[in-house]
Amino acid sequence: MPEKVLIIEDNDRNRKLVKILLEANKYEVIEAGTGEEALKYLQDNKPAVILLDIQLPNMDGITLAKILKSRDDTKSIPIIAVTAYAMKGDKERMLEAGCDAYVSKPIDTRQLPLIVADMIKRHET
């Protein structure tokens, strides 16, 4: 059974690219365009890893990461922050918010599946 990866990304092109890339590496991909959609999905489902865009409408990724890491049902799910806004201090802010790893855009299509696999492996119970 393939591992589930939840992609939380509001940009359709970016989400589609990551989906194609991960499906090619045998992951089952679930998509959410907003933090609210992701929270709704996570009420009844637990993916192996979450790819979280930091720049989301309404609720930004840092706020969502803090929420997920504060909840008993989602705090153990590894979160990989994905952002194009790699300003000084951003990586630290994302890690402080509870993200387990950080990937900058444009995404390295060779590295992303390896990072996802590594994150799943490190968080297996």
Q: How is the chain split into domains, by residue range?
A: 4-123
Classify residue 3 by its DSSP letter.
P
Report if pTM > 0.75. yes
Q: Mean pLDDT, the chain, as a whole number?
A: 92
In 3-state terms, what secondary structure has residue 5?
Answer: strand
Sheet holding 101-104, edge to edge: 28-32, 4-8, 49-53, 79-83, 101-104
85 pLDDT higher than 80? no
CATH dotted code for 4-123: 3.40.50.2300
125 pLDDT higher than 60? no
User: For the range 82-85, what are the long-range contacts, defined as Cβ-Cβ under 8 Å and sequence gap of 24 or more?
Assistant: 82/9, 82/18, 82/51, 82/52, 82/53, 82/54, 82/107, 83/53, 83/54, 83/55, 84/55, 85/54, 85/55
124 Cβ contact list (under 8 Å, min separation 6): none
Label residue 105 by pLDDT band (50, 70, 90).
Answer: confident
Comparing 92 with 67, the larger pLDDT belongs to 67
